[in-house]
Amino acid sequence: MVLQPELIPLRPHHLVCLQYFVGNGYSTGFTANTTRVLTYLKQHPTLACIQIVQGADTLCQSCPNMHTQCETAQQHDQGYLQALHLTIGQQLSFQEAIERFQRYVNDTVFHTICGTCPWYDLCSSLRQKRTLDILDT
């Protein structure tokens, strides 16, 4: 029997957040869930198991702020939906997500879209240090 891959709903800007995730987050449950998702994606980089969704996704399910209005997150989604040339409902692999991130998210795009995020300083410093593909780290 062939097992179906787990289909992971992700909002657009979380494709970028995952590139810089190093274990920080809004709660212990949030970081544990994000670690689980990222581990799965790194173990199955070529499976088309990511589905782009609008609004709350797999990572948001464990966020303590999920039921508040995340207007900044929505702005980040809109920015990265366009910057990464994605459409809602599209399925892609983690490898494709990494390639789009590397191709389209230059410093100007990153600073423009992520500049209002509370995690910006951390991600920005990781961006300056990181020279390897996330699959190599």
- 10 or 16: whose CB is closer to ligand SF4? 16
Residue 83 lies near ligand SF4 (rule: CB under 6 A): no
Q: How far apart are alpha carbons 121 and 43 in whole angstroms?
A: 28
Nearest CA to 41 out of 5, 90, 102, 94 is that of: 94
With binding defined as CB under 6 A, does residue 92 bind ligand SF4?
no
Q: Does 13 participate in binding ligand SF4 (rule CB under 6 A)?
A: yes
Task: Tell me which stretch binds ligand SF4 (CB under 6 A): 41-49, 54-62, 92-100, 114-122.
Answer: 114-122
Which long-range CB contacts under 8 A does 131-137 form with residues at least 24 apart?
133/98, 133/102, 134/18, 134/19, 134/42, 134/98, 135/42, 135/45, 135/94, 135/95, 135/98
Q: What would the x/- binding string for ligand SF4 be over residues 43 to 82, using CB under 6 A?
A: ---------------------------------x------
- For ligand SF4, the binding residues (CB under 6 A) are 13, 16-17, 20, 76, 114, 117, 119-120, 123
